[in-house]
Amino acid sequence: MQLRLRTKNGVVSVSIDPKCTVGELYEEIERKTGIEVSHQKILYGFPQRELHADRDELVESVLQSGESLTVDKLSSGTEPEKVHGVDSLAAESAFVRRKVPDDNSCLFHAISYVFRNGSVEELRYIIAETVRANPDLYTEAFLGKSNQEYSNWILLPDTWGGAIELSILSRYFQTEISVFDIQTLRLDRYGESDGYEDRVFLLYDGIHYDPIARAFPGAPREYDVTVFKVWDDEALVGAKSVAEEANRNRQYTDLASFSLLCRNCGAKLKGETGAVEHAKQTGHTNFTEA
């Protein structure tokens, strides 16, 4: 479980086992920050509210991965907590699409966003090392190229990610990755049969991935909730509503007919089939929509 911790000295990341207790979380906070928790209050959520939990409670029962916490001094004030001028009783959340760069690494940007963990380069490295370590599983027949060739290829900054990479990252983060296809509204669930308790949502428009998050009015993106329980039907409905709105607005690319330009040689290509055939013939993989 990944948590972001704000203190007077800045923001730090905390990685803990979701099965650990709140007391153990407090110990890890003290270790990471040098701040004695007993003299502080821990705030979470948005609008922020104080974490009231027994030290013996499991962290996963009160917090979600990706949550942002704030360590604040204890005060005697009695006024309701307000953040960015939003009354804690009036705030409402909504599911939204968060745009990430369109630079051939959009899948990795989206994954980094929902897990609050790993740079694009680190995520590519995780995939390459996973493939190298499992040659019997990741064969040439499965990858479409030799194990070594794929391991080098996925590290290139202009290489697109897709189903293979999503399945590997789902296993790495022990989290189901659910992807809504905007054009068809199909839901692809990577890690569905692995018994994971957590789930994140992505949106796919045919050539580009974006993360889906639960956002709060007036709050910065760092307050977004991006990890949900797989049995959270409200989150599923909310994420699907984002895909449905994008579908109504035709915010997708028709893979059968869209035009592509090869950035390596300037060739003009027709649809996904044309791009795949061009890549097989030339080894070029750097495409952009024409």
Q: Where are any strands of DSSP class E within 125-192?
A: 176-181, 187-190
40 beta partners: 73
**Catalytic residue, candidates 109, 198, 205, 208:** 208
State the catalytic residue, choosing from 103, 194, 233, 254: 103
Is 54 annotated as catalytic? no
Q: Which of 206, 116, 127 is nearest to 171 (CA)?
A: 127
CB atoms closer than 10 angstroms to residue 50? 14
Strand, helix or coil at 213? strand
Torsion sign, CA atoms 133, 136, 141, 146: positive
Reply yes or no on whether 106 is catalytic: yes
Q: How far apart are CA 39 and CA 48, in angstroms?
A: 18
- Catalytic residue, chosen from 72, 84, 181, 284, is 284
| Nearest alpha-carbon partner for 35 in 77, 83, 69 | 69
Q: Is 233 labeled as catalytic in the residue annotation?
A: no
Active site residue 210: no
Which of 221, 204, 119, 215 is CA-nearest to residue 166? 204
Residues designated as active site: 103, 106, 208, 284
